[in-house]
Structure 1
């Protein structure tokens, strides 16, 4: 088991022991309902984070991000244990309670330090190269130790209900303590900014996947400065840590682990830019609405008195009225500020759609438009033609990867380059239009090529027939005519063997008739007059190798039967002449108003249907009937020719 997974399981075990200890001490602690909630919530949050750490380590056993998530989850139960022990000691004296309370005054740093470590090590689990990241790491650890040590020697009285606790460990004067505390807090904030700079440097040097992962993590890491701001807001408003910090700590212990695990395991599950835009929008809207609510409540309280139901109702109605129009405007402002490239691309795609609709543009300009809008010259758009398995651009070059463009849940195109998913979704109509135009262009090209091949095949067949007639039956009949004319001239002299001449003439005529019948059979076998079955039987009898055939069906239209016969005949001829086959099987099935002709041989394989004129002719013949022909041939594995012909019998 890799060391990262071992550490994750160890931290999970330690967290479980800590949670059990807290639950065991809880009956001894005299706490209110609010304090009980404050003690139990970290246990749930910690267990959630530790569980995610174990899950990440099981999927990425060599990545230290899993153990770091375990540290994020261990901190809340550990702090809850310290607090529970202190509360329990109020009702029953426990050994070392005052010393533990004094030592853990600065332990709240444990909420934030594991997240800072994640910021430095995410997503590879290693520090980026250079001295700066190492200095930041040492600074974070040193600042934590120094702050906890300084807080432990603070002589200030404790907050209720621990005001009766003493300071069993040595302390320093308050002036000395504050001379250290303030610089340490400033250094901690500076280290937070430095950690962000380390992430930014890693983002600029990373590839597309690493950048997406860092975006997801940064979305969760926003909880760290947000929690610090909420903590300060508590002190400013209430003079102590109050209710405002609770959502911040929950987002720190729940949001950071969840988004970290998502970034490591499924960074492409959702468009991170849209998620970030939504989070920032709602954060700004919430802050603004809280300000509106507070101002309305304060003003109403001055006029109508504190606690007025009219004030609360009016403030709530005002917030509800402001929410709907403000949110969309803030969202658009956030998108323009944070994602200008995406907004430019969406606007450019919408403009191109309008120009295409008005006849002023071509949908094939999509790639050029995206390159200009995204300011990325490497952007390529690939299209998946119906029936195809690979994406190709408009010039036919393959596009291997990128952001998929989907229509009704199925991919129709891909955009290779830094293209947001929202932009890819906006390109659906243009991609589908280009895809259909490419399909039509390809079909027209194939029809033109097929027409050319059919014309050439017709000329070639005419020349073959002319040659066969000239060299065969025509030559034989001319020779016969000359022999009969010669016999006629010498017939009166009595020197001509009339019976022999007539026998020879009859033989020559029979041979000529046989040759003409063979030529006619090449055009259309006469056995087809009796049906496809007798024609296949005749083909079997003429074959020089073992040939098995099976016909499952009844009568078929003449054009379908003729095409099926020529598919079988051409496949058998190729198998015998070129593949060296010793066994050939022909199966003709009728299924769902379609005639399926399958010819398999055990020859050497490796057939290219494009190069062979016979198979290319079959392709055209089958396509002319509205069917399709598929040739499967692997070297050494034989050849399978399958034709599917539309047939209504």
Structure 2
């Protein structure tokens, strides 16, 4: 419904603008610069309201706010277009109804009434209550009456209607107080309209509606800015030319602010925008006041136009800029942006307590939850060399969607994760920047604690593995070589006792003993080979190639190493042996690749297969023991084993070059 209304309003505004353009074309070179600029201002200021009003009406077809915004654009287009056309009509004889000049005298109210109606209906598209119908009706009635009677005052009209007749006649003198009272009544209604928005803001509990009202109020802040520019213009230039900048800003920000509020109120932190606008407007006002006071006082002493006084006033204002801005920023933040001020003050207070030893950096999350307040806010930390985010206890945080990263020196060290919508992302970015040093200290402490826990766990596992290996060796010796040697001893004793009586086949017994002795030696060699392969005596390259040659699968070997310490070579061989064993037993691999490369001060050991994948470093598994052995040598083990795509085990060991 309101989409059609906005289209009709846009068509009417286009008709007025076309009429003004026709007037300029008819004037041609006779059109003076003020007339051209006056018409151009109408075009520039009306088009945004009309276009954005249509966008809102299209997106919110049941809400009249879009149509009212388009009506604001129409009101801006009417006056410059009519006056431009009238100038051409009186100069070039274009058709011109006599009543136009009469109605134009009160048309300035068109600049205010649509804006006031927009305020009354914003943002829900309905009045705040039944009693506000009188305000809306009063605005329309005052506009109609004033436009009708303002042109009935005696005397000639101002240009370009100085020769236009009083089409509606002339009012008697007794009616003048009534006519004069109408602008004051309009002022009262405008104040009431502004009050309706304040009341609506206080009553609503919805964060989205409060944000919409703040965006609209931010656009309205251009009104005091325009007054400030007018003051500055009079002070520095002696004329109000800069006030036009304020008016341009006002009629540009109203449609933009309304559109953002209606369609994208969460685009930016509106509290921060309001606080910044108020802060810098106040700072400018204070500095202008200071400059005015110094210039006035210095002028009384040194005379007007003194360059020394002007330079001194400028120097004082420049020196006062930073402290004035800082103090005003604090005051404004406490009033208009309390969350920001509370959060930054809480971070600063925590730093001071940490400096004197009364607090720990891990308390930052609790401090921020209290200051914002957001009881579900989370601080996440990214440990060095890790990709997952963890909490202050080192536990991983699953899928922290919407996290605001904390960056220090170009490196992401953590994130702030808001619990609800009460805290804006812009504020979270400021909090992230302010707390980066505390987060860096905390994450390093978490990483150190995790490393110490890993070391303790690794030592316990290595100790348990050592005990287990000793029990295995004891069992292998007892069940294997020891039994054979005992049997060998008994056989030799039997041979000794029956050596001369011929009752025992001594030769056969000795042959059997020799065989048992060979078997025992072989078993001892196998046990010793498990501790340290004898093939390592010829170098790691030979040992690895020997191992690869004993496998029943196709194996590719690439070894590029120099002289390596024996303990490092043993660890590297152990990595290859265990990885190959896992691939043979569990991966159902059809091919294995071995690659050992020594470069700089590291030895890289890589074992790949094309098996089923899915291998993981589980506590108590063979891979966990392998990782512990590599860590004990000062290295690191990585396992990449996507399901169905093979396994890659890579160990990086430190070594002397």
Please indicate, yes or no, whether the TM-score normalized by the shorter chain is above 0.5. Answer: yes
The Cα shift of 1:180 comes to 5.4
2:642 corresponds to = 634
8 Å CA contact 2:393, 2:446 repeated in 1? no
Q: Which moved more, 1:575-584 or 1:258-267?
A: 258-267
2:81 corresponds to = 81
The Cα shift of 1:365 comes to 2.2
In 1, Cα distance between equivalents of 2:31 and 2:594: 87
In 1, Cα distance between equivalents of 2:100 and 2:508: 134
8 Å CA contact 1:106, 1:152 repeated in 2? yes
Match for residue 362 of structure 1 among 353, 356, 360: 360
1:190 corresponds to = 192
The answer on 1:321 being equivalent to 2:316 is yes
User: Using a 3 Å threshold, how does the CA distance of structure 1 residues 155 and 633 change in structure 2: closer, same or farther?
Assistant: same
1:153 corresponds to = 148
SS at match of 1:643: strand
SS at match of 1:600: strand
User: Using a 3 Å threshold, how does the CA distance of structure 1 residues 160 and 70 change in structure 2: closer, same or farther?
Assistant: closer
In 1, Cα distance between equivalents of 2:134 and 2:570: 86
The Cα shift of 1:482 comes to 1.6
User: Using a 3 Å threshold, how does the CA distance of structure 1 residues 96 and 456 change in structure 2: closer, same or farther?
Assistant: farther
The answer on 1:431 being equivalent to 2:439 is yes
1:407 corresponds to = 408
Q: Which moved more, 1:627-636 or 1:93-102?
A: 93-102
1:314-363 deviations in whole A, cap 9, x for unaligned?
Answer: 46743652464244433333234334454344333323222322333322
2:625 corresponds to = 617
The Cα shift of 1:476 comes to 1.7
In 2, Cα distance between equivalents of 1:112 and 1:490: 134
User: Using a 3 Å threshold, how does the CA distance of structure 1 residues 590 and 44 change in structure 2: closer, same or farther?
Assistant: farther
- List runs of 5+ in structure 2 lacking aligned partners: none
Q: Which moved more, 1:25-34 or 1:530-539?
A: 25-34
8 Å CA contact 1:480, 1:508 repeated in 2? yes
SS at match of 2:488: helix
2:384 corresponds to = 386
8 Å CA contact 1:115, 1:224 repeated in 2? no
The residue correspondences of 1:56-71 to structure 2 (distance < 5 A) are none
User: Using a 3 Å threshold, how does the CA distance of structure 1 residues 427 and 302 change in structure 2: closer, same or farther?
Assistant: closer
2:494 corresponds to = 486
8 Å CA contact 1:136, 1:194 repeated in 2? no
SS at match of 1:154: helix
Q: Which moved more, 1:46-55 or 1:621-630?
A: 46-55
The Cα shift of 1:455 comes to 0.8
The Cα shift of 1:82 comes to 3.5
User: Using a 3 Å threshold, how does the CA distance of structure 1 residues 251 and 119 change in structure 2: closer, same or farther?
Assistant: farther
In 2, Cα distance between equivalents of 1:135 and 1:31: 50
In 1, Cα distance between equivalents of 2:506 and 2:42: 124
SS at match of 2:368: helix
In 1, Cα distance between equivalents of 2:471 and 2:61: 72
- List runs of 5+ in structure 1 lacking aligned partners: none
User: Using a 3 Å threshold, how does the CA distance of structure 1 residues 100 and 506 change in structure 2: closer, same or farther?
Assistant: farther
In 2, Cα distance between equivalents of 1:540 and 1:14: 89
8 Å CA contact 1:107, 1:148 repeated in 2? no
In 1, Cα distance between equivalents of 2:311 and 2:547: 90
1:130-182 deviations in whole A, cap 9, x for unaligned?
Answer: x6558799889766654543343134354334333345479986666556554
In 2, Cα distance between equivalents of 1:155 and 1:7: 29
The Cα shift of 1:388 comes to 2.7
The residue correspondences of 1:490-569 to structure 2 (distance < 5 A) are 490-544=498-552, 546-555=553-562, 557-558=564-565, 559-569=567-577
User: Using a 3 Å threshold, how does the CA distance of structure 1 residues 557 and 429 change in structure 2: closer, same or farther?
Assistant: same
Q: Count residues in correspondence.
A: 626
The Cα shift of 1:516 comes to 1.9
The answer on 1:309 being equivalent to 2:317 is no
2:162 corresponds to = 163
The Cα shift of 1:381 comes to 2.5
In 2, Cα distance between equivalents of 1:568 and 1:143: 91
The answer on 1:249 being equivalent to 2:247 is yes
In 2, Cα distance between equivalents of 1:38 and 1:320: 39
8 Å CA contact 1:344, 1:374 repeated in 2? yes
Q: Which moved more, 1:435-444 or 1:101-110?
A: 101-110
In 2, Cα distance between equivalents of 1:601 and 1:107: 84
8 Å CA contact 2:378, 2:417 repeated in 1? yes
2:347 corresponds to = 349
TM-score normalized by the length of structure 1: 0.79
SS at match of 2:415: strand
SS at match of 1:383: strand
In 2, Cα distance between equivalents of 1:213 and 1:643: 57
2:450 corresponds to = 442
The Cα shift of 1:366 comes to 2.0
The Cα shift of 1:602 comes to 3.5
User: Using a 3 Å threshold, how does the CA distance of structure 1 residues 573 and 334 change in structure 2: closer, same or farther?
Assistant: same
Q: Which moved more, 1:176-185 or 1:569-578?
A: 176-185
Two-structure CA RMSD over aligned residues (Å): 4.7
The Cα shift of 1:572 comes to 2.3
The Cα shift of 1:375 comes to 4.6
1:428-451 deviations in whole A, cap 9, x for unaligned?
Answer: 222211111111111111111111
In 1, Cα distance between equivalents of 2:523 and 2:600: 41
